[in-house]
Chains A and B, each alone.
Chain A
């Protein structure tokens, strides 16, 4: 599975949009892009996933670059409950999700 690169940490003001980037330059044609988040002392929570086209759901949007070598998770209006570690995962089997160290998002009131 392709490795991913994410910033270690990011900050956002409450009520403002947040763009969390992820680079996956070695992605292959059959790899899906998954995003999970982990709140303190909890298990990871599914956020969104996609293959080629941009995706939207009630939690977030996923913007995938045309060459698929990067993607961006978009939280449209950050709340304090969105403070978590966000993991970008690239996988074509789903058996082994490589979580990496993720991006720790701090939301400032």
Chain B
């Protein structure tokens, strides 16, 4: 049973470019969460999605960041016009039932903005 998959594992972008991060949840999971981790810090919640719906985006920056979880295919975290401060590890987690159900994390995508 495959775990949460994220790709790419490493992504390098120049300032002003777009970054697309993909997350395939565990089989049967319809709840997806995105977190960001800056160096030497803990993970910070960004957004919680359930198939085709954004449930909670209170941790998402208001500009340049967006997330989706379409009916078919992976969840996408999109960062437009990246800046150096966006350099971080981005983790995706999925759960079967949401709420207090266990969140299973992927290996993360490490974004470097030059």
Contacts and interface: CB of A to CB of B under 8 A. Distances in A.
A46 B103 contact: yes
What does DSSP make chain A's interface, helix, strand, loop or mixed?
Answer: loop
B107 A97 contact: no
Interface residues of A, number: 21
Nearest to B56: A95
Given A44-B91, A45-B105, A46-B103, A97 B48 contact: no
Of A36, A94, A99, A100, which is in contact with the most chain B CB atoms at under 10 Å from its CB?
A: A94
Interface stretch (B12-20, B39-47, B78-86): B39-47
A49 B95 CA distance: 15
Nearest to A97: B45
Contact of A93 (B99, B104, B106, B108): B99
A32 B108 CA distance: 25
A3 to B, nearest CB: 12
Contacts of B103: 46, 94, 97
B98 interface: yes
B56 A96 contact: yes
Interface string A69-97: 00000000000000000010001111111
A44 B100 contact: no
B42 A100 contact: yes
A29 interface: no
Contacts of A46: 102-104
Interface of B: 4, 33, 35, 41-45, 48, 55-56, 58-59, 91, 93, 95, 98-108
Interface of A: 32, 36, 42-46, 49, 87, 91-102
21 contacts: A43-B106, A44-B105, A46-B102, A46-B103, A46-B104, A49-B100, A91-B100, A92-B100, A93-B99, A94-B99, A94-B100, A94-B103, A95-B33, A95-B48, A95-B55, A96-B48, A97-B33, A97-B43, A98-B42, A99-B35, A99-B42
